[in-house]
Amino acid sequence: MEHKSQAELLGVSQNGRNHHRPHRVVITGMGLVGPLGNDVQSSWQALLAAKSGCAPITLYDRSQTDVQIACEVKDFDPAAHFGPRDARRLDRCAQFALVATKEALQDAGLVLHDDNTYDVGVVLGSGIGGISTLTAEHAVMLQKGPKRVSPFAVPMMLPDTATGQVAMHFGIRGPNYCVVSACASGTNAIGEAFELLRAGRARAVVTGGTEAPINAFSIAAFNNMGALSTYNDDPEGASRPFDATRNGFVCGEGAGVLVLETLEHAQERGARIHAEVLGYGVTADAHHITAPDVKGPAMAMRAALAQAGLSPSQIDYLNAHGTSTPLNDSNETRAIKTAFGEAAYDLHISSTKSMTGHLLGAAGALEAIICVLSIRDGVILPTINYHNPDAECDLNYTPNSVIRKPVRVAMSNSFGFGGHNGCLVIGQFTE
């Protein structure tokens, strides 16, 4: 099938563009650090067991904030990965990205050397970057004066630091930038990497998202806008997407990294191919900074389907944005119905944020990896903690139990504050 750009699909003029046949883009590597495990395999096994990564906060004195639960990365020792000195000079956000990238490159079997270093790029997403460094160094300034602020504060706190650190650590000299679009950042980063490869501007791209937002300031800020779950007494049951009793998301942290390559490059080097990226849709609500809209997400889904050359009935699984906030889940349900029509009622949907919490800018990357693994193993993960149906959320959210069935094509949704909408379509690779 011939792939078309989103602009062409939506009727936007592309005057002067060279309309060559775009490259196919495949996924050859995956790496993960998250609330359920510090690599892909352990995380996947925990997801298959329908475990929750939510627990009382340990990263700071949680008595300072009304919300006392989060989905933290556990048993992560940065000194073991980077040594004590370098660990102190890397924000947790960059640390996660580096560890996940190492696993992804090893999984892909992609070795960087002088002959290919400019053919490989890095495109990572992060919603707020080194927010813990920023808040900690601001506290130092208030308590001890401006001369005591660390000279490493700026390079540690910038959202693009992870992309720069990945490039330096692994010797990657191709296109390099950070995508910042709130909770859509990881999905948008993968989509932009996909477009780079389709256009032939790189032969491989390290892409995904990373986030480390769990600190007293971030939790207080999200809570004061009414976004977080307040079920402190039931951490494992606090994230309950699409359930009638949902009252907010659970903040999570971690990084998901994928290696994307042009099909030609992957085949030339004999790489194992996990799956293929078939379509990417990206839109803006132009509606409200936090209140969701129906048309924008629906158009992103339609654009991704159109670029993939697929009908709604050909999607076997949809990993929903599904944050567990009252507005998001009902709005996403309406958007799915708008995009899929009657096929929405036959669609298997789940929100894995019920288990992982919401990794903000890293969420879409984690969920893209979940889609790949669902395709590989023929598994649809559940939405756990779903016990009370909501009349406004009347689709099949795969409640509480794993379903084993073939998954040929999966879709992943991400929607961010600011009205950012991203959608990916990932499919089985076929010659």
Are 394 and 153 in contact by the 8 Å Cβ rule? The answer is no
Instruction: Tell whether 14 is covered by a domain.
Output: no
CA distance 273 to 120: 17
What is the reported pLDDT for 13? Answer: 35
Instruction: Tell whether 18 is covered by a domain.
Output: no
Residue range 355-367, pLDDT digits in tens: 999 999 999 999 9
Q: What are phi and psi of 405, to 5 degrees?
A: -160, 155
What is the reported pLDDT for 18? Answer: 43
Instruction: Tell whether 1 is covered by a domain.
Output: no
CA distance 149 to 423: 40
The residue annotated as part of the active site, out of 93, 183, 393, 423, is: 183
Residue range 26-51, pLDDT digits in tens: 999 999 999 999 999 999 999 999 99
Instruction: Tell whether 16 is covered by a domain.
Output: no
Are 405 and 298 in contact by the 8 Å Cβ rule? The answer is no
Question: One-letter amino acid identity for 359?
Answer: L
Tokens representing 220 are: 């207080």
Per-residue pLDDT for 89 more than 90? yes
**Residue 358 annotated as catalytic:** yes
Instruction: Tell whether 15 is covered by a domain.
Output: no
Q: Comparing 199-213, 280-294, 314-328, 413-427, which segment has the lowest mean pLDDT?
A: 280-294
Work out how many domains the chain is built from and give that number: 1
CA distance 202 to 279: 18
What is the reported pLDDT for 86? Answer: 94
CA distance 360 to 311: 29
What is the reported pLDDT for 187? Answer: 98
Residue range 382-392, pLDDT digits in tens: 999 999 999 99
**Residue 321 annotated as catalytic:** yes
What is the reported pLDDT for 297? Answer: 97
Nearest to 280 by CA among 99, 123, 97: 123
The residue annotated as part of the active site, out of 71, 358, 393, 423, is: 358
Instruction: Tell whether 3 is covered by a domain.
Output: no
Domain that holds residue 386: 24-427
Per-residue pLDDT for 238 more than 80? yes
What is the reported pLDDT for 290? Answer: 78
SS (H, E, C) 309-321: CCCHHHCCEEECC
Residue range 172-225, pLDDT digits in tens: 999 999 999 999 999 999 999 999 999 999 999 999 999 999 999 999 999 999
pTM score, whole prediction: 0.94
Q: How far apart are the first and last CA of the chain?
A: 12
Per-residue pLDDT for 118 more than 90? yes
The residue annotated as part of the active site, out of 23, 265, 274, 321, is: 321
Per-residue pLDDT for 12 more than 70? no
Find the CATH number of the domain harbouring 150.
Answer: 3.40.47.10
Per-residue pLDDT for 17 more than 50? no
Instruction: Tell whether 11 is covered by a domain.
Output: no
Nearest to 278 by CA among 195, 386, 400: 195
CA distance 368 to 425: 9
Instruction: Tell whether 7 is covered by a domain.
Output: no
Residue range 334-347, pLDDT digits in tens: 999 999 999 999 99
**Residue 81 annotated as catalytic:** no
